Amino acid sequence: MESNKKIVITGVSGFIGKNLSIYLKSKGYQIIGIDVVGEGENCDYFYLGTFNDKNIKEKALNGAEVVFHLGSIVGVDKCQNESALVKQVNFLETISFFDTCVEMGVKKIIFSSSSEIYGNSKDLPYKEDAIVTPISLYAQCKRDVEAHLKKISENTDVKVCIPRFFNVYGPGQRADFVVTKFINLVKNNQNIEIYGTGLQTRSHTYVGDVVNALEKMISYNKNSYEIMNIGSTFEYSMNEVAKTILDLFPNSKSKIEYVDYGSNGTRDVFLEIDRRVPLTTKAEKILNFKATTDLREGVEKIIKSIT
């Protein structure tokens, strides 16, 4: 690592951004943060505002070597309900921001994509070179930004790394995401509602593993454009997630309730992905990275952070 390398993180007050800034700061990097909320407590300098604000982005990107773009509107359901805003922020403003990165001489862009991009493909485990079939607007925007970044990598000297995250969870995550949501329900003796049968699976990936992978991407320079699955190879059904959390609260009165898709404002079934698990051999080979935190260990860390 080059001492005091200048790193810009958009969405620095968000779940992954905050964890990443803490981790990189501990490694000696100079952190420049941008977000619409927060105070930038883990940053050397913090800009309060949108990442595509002309004055903010030009000041923040001046002299920056690496940019982590984590700022976006997140959540599949939220994005479906605010489609015009999502297209504006997650696609149009994002590609404008990246074009400014090129103009300002940034050497590397690391863009947070998502396993949602694979859609409901039955070709499992998901490989980075698979044909992507995004279902949700959130995932479609990720696909389109990936394509724009590929053009940047082909036409400029800027190197691009794209981690496709698989269901990241951990301390500090927003309360409406599944692991944190289930923990809060069980802690307060409220029942857990699971869509459908609960047999749908995810590869829940602990945020501490994720930020370790992201730091490794800073020094990766072999290819000008690289997509990598960043996820756990531990696969859990929604039933297993709920039962793991219930087991860690033995005195809770909570139970599991099953609800139909689309009822009482719940997610429509067409947005659901039955199974999601990554092939991670690329990240293992070129980053020497493998997620090692299993679900029970990760949940225990969250519980410890809130008690």
Over the range 123-149, which residues count as b (16 or more CB within 10 Å of their CB) and which as e? ebbbbbeeebebbbbbbbbbbbbbeeb
Report DSSP state, residue 225.
Answer: E
pLDDT averaged over the chain? 94
Res 122: pLDDT: 84
**3-state DSSP call for residue 150?**
helix
Quick one: DSSP state of residue 171? Answer: T
Question: Are the C-beta atoms of residues 241 and 294 closer than 8 Å to each other?
Answer: no
* Closest to 93 (Cα-Cα) out of 43, 144, 137: 144
pLDDT in the model for residue 261: 76
* Percent with pLDDT over 70 in the chain: 95
- Provide the pairing of β-strand 236-237 with 201-202: antiparallel
Query: Where would I find the H helices in the chain?
Result: 15-26, 54-61, 76-81, 83-86, 94-103, 137-155, 178-187, 207-218, 238-248, 281-286, 295-306
* CA gap 134, 119 in Å, rounded: 4
Cα–Cα distance for residue pair 289/214, rounded to 1 Å: 10
**Residue 305 · residue 171 · CB < 8 Å:** yes
| Neighbouring residues of 185: CB distance < 8 A, sequence distance ≥ 6 | 191, 192, 254
Strand partners, 293: none
Q: CA–CA separation, 199 vs 201, rounded Å?
A: 6
pLDDT recorded at residue 283: 98
pLDDT in tens, 253-290: 999 999 987 666 555 665 667 889 999 999 999 999 99
**What is the torsional sign of CA 225, 40, 183, 269?**
negative
Q: What is the pLDDT of residues 35-67, one digit of tens each?
A: 999 999 999 999 999 999 999 999 999 999 999
Q: Kindly report the number of other CB atoms within 10 A of residue 274's CB atom.
A: 11
Sorted by sequence, the CB contacts under 8 Å of residue 206 that are 6+ apart come out as 168, 169, 170, 232, 291, 293, 297, 298, 301
Look at strands 108-111 and 168-169 and give their pairing: unpaired
Strands 159-165 and 66-69: unpaired
At 209 the three-state DSSP class reads: helix
Architecture of the CATH domain 6-169+205-231: 3-Layer(aba) Sandwich (3.40)
Question: Mean pLDDT across the stretch 1-28?
Answer: 91
Query: What dihedral angle (degrees, nearest 10) is formed by the CA atoms of 219, 220, 226, 229?
Result: -80
The confidence band for 1, taking pLDDT boundaries of 50, 70 and 90, is very low
Q: Both tokens of residue 1? A: 């690592």
Q: What pTM was estimated for this model as a whole?
A: 0.93
Under the banding of pLDDT at 50, 70 and 90, the label for residue 99 is very high
Pick from 208, 288, 292: nearest CA to 22: 208
